[in-house]
C-alpha cells in the first residue's frame, strides 16, 4: 500500500474545516471522533503521511460490502513494512539523542567535579554533602525512607517526593546503581546533592518520556530514616 501526502494545502484546509464543524452529539459521532484521533496519533507517531482519498476508499468498501482493493496479504506486507520503517526511525532518533546526552553529560560532570565539596567516587558517582546527619548508615539489606527531587542537567524536574508531600520508602537495592551507592555513604539526617552518570542511572534505555537514553541525572536526596 502506497501512502501519499495530500495534493495541496487547500485540500488539508478543507478537510480540517469539515472535521472541526462535525457535531459530536451522538455516541456514534463521539466514537468516530475517537477512532480518528487514535488513527491520526498513530500516523503521526510512525511518520506516515495520511491520504484521505485512500482512507475514504477503504471505509466505503467496508461499509458497502465491496471487494477490498488490497488483499489481506497486501495489508500484512504494508503493515510489516511501516513497522520496520518506524522502528528504524525510532532507533535513529534514539541514537542521535543518545550522542547529544552523552556529550552534555560528560561536560556537566567534568565541570561539576571541580566544584568545592564535590566528591567523585571510583564508579563515577558525584556527591556533595549539604547537610550532615549523625544517624546510622544503611546497608544493602536495609529499607530507607527519603525525600528527594530529581532533575535533568538543564533543570527539568522529572520527579519529586517533596511535591507529592510524602517521603518515599524502598529497599536500598531497589533503585538505580547511583542511588544504591550514595545511600550507603549517607548517615540518617544527611542531605546530599548527587550527579549520577547515565551508566549508574537508566543507561541507554532511559525511563519514561523525560529521561532519554544515556542521560545524566541530578538529585537532592535527604535520608530521613532506616525503616526497621
Q: Are 219 and 197 in contact (CB under 8 A)?
A: no
Q: Active site residue: 159, 190, 211, 214, which one?
A: 159
Domain 105-227 annotated CATH 3.10.50.40: yes
Residue 128: name the closest of 224, 218, 225 by CA: 218
* Residue 162: active-site member: no
Residue 148 annotated as catalytic: yes
In this prediction the pTM is 0.71
Rounded Cα distance between 50 and 80, Å, is 17
Question: Among residues 108, 190, 202, 211, which one is catalytic?
Answer: 202
For 188-226, the pLDDT digits (tens) are 999 999 999 999 999 999 999 899 999 999 999 999 999
Q: List the catalytic residue out of 108, 196, 219, 226.
A: 219
Is 42's pLDDT higher than 70? yes
Give me the torsion for CA of 164, 101, 208, 210, rounded to 10°.
Answer: 50
Those residues with Cβ within 8 angstroms of residue 121's Cβ, 6 or more apart along the chain or in another chain: 127, 181, 185
- pLDDT of residue 86 exceeding 90, the answer is no
Is residue 117 within 8 Å of residue 128, measured between CB atoms? yes
**55: annotated active-site residue:** no
CB count in 10 Å sphere of residue 213: 21
Per-residue pLDDT reduced to its tens digit, 87-100: 898 889 889 999 99
**Residue 15 pLDDT level (bands cut at 50, 70, 90):** very low
Specify whether the CB–CB gap between 195 and 221 falls below 8 A.
Answer: no
From the list 82, 102, 153, 176, the catalytic residue is: 176
Beta bridge pairs of residue 127 = 119, 194
Across all residues in the chain, what is the average pLDDT?
Answer: 90
CB 223 within 8 A of CB 144: yes
Burial of 7 from C-beta contacts in 10 A (0-12 / 13-18 / 19+): exposed
Residue whose C-alpha cell is 550522542? 99
Other C-beta atoms closer than 10 Å to the C-beta of 106 total 14
In this structure, what C-alpha cell is assigned to residue 182? 550514595
Q: Is 61 exposed, middle or buried (0-12, 13-18, 19+ CB in 10 A)?
A: middle
202 an active-site residue?
yes
Q: Which three cell numbers stand for residue 114?
A: 571541580
- Out of 108, 148, 196, 211, the active site residue is 148
Rounded CA separation 139/177 (Å): 14
Active-site residue (options: 33, 43, 50, 158): 158
Where are the domains positioned within the chain? 9-69, 105-227
Amino acid at each position: 500500500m502506497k501512502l501519499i501526502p495530500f495534493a495541496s494545502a487547500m485540500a488539508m484546509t478543507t478537510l480540517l474545516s469539515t472535521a472541526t464543524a462535525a457535531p459530536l452529539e451522538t455516541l456514534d459521532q463521539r466514537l468516530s471522533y475517537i477512532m480518528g484521533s487514535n488513527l491520526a496519533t498513530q500516523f503521526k507517531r510512525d511518520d506516515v503521511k495520511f491520504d484521505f482519498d485512500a482512507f475514504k476508499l477503504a471505509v466505503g468498501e467496508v461499509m458497502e460490502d465491496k471487494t477490498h482493493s488490497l488483499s489481506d496479504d497486501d495489508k500484512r506486507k504494508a503493515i510489516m513494512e511501516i513497522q520496520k520503517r518506524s522502528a528504524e526511525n525510532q532507533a535513529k532518533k534514539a541514537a542521535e539523542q543518545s550522542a547529544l546526552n552523552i556529550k552534555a553529560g560528560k561536560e556537566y560532570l567534568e565541570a561539576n567535579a571541580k566544584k568545592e565539596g564535590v566528591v567523585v567516587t571510583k564508579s563515577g558517582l558525584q556527591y556533595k554533602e549539604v547537610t550532615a546527619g549523625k544517624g546510622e548508615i544503611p546497608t544493602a539489606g536495609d529499607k530507607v525512607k527519603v525525600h528527594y527531587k530529581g532533575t535533568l542537567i538543564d533543570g527539568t524536574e522529572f520527579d519529586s517526593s517533596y511535591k507529592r508531600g510524602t517521603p518515599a520508602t524502598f529497599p536500598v537495592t531497589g533503585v538505580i546503581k547511583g542511588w544504591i551507592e550514595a545511600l550507603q555513604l549517607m548517615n540518617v539526617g544527611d542531605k546530599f546533592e548527587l550527579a549520577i552518570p547515565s551508566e549508574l542511572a537508566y543507561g541507554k534505555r532511559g525511563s519514561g518520556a523525560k529521561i532519554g537514553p544515556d542521560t545524566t541525572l541530578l538529585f537532592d536526596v535527604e535520608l530521613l530514616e532506616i525503616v526497621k
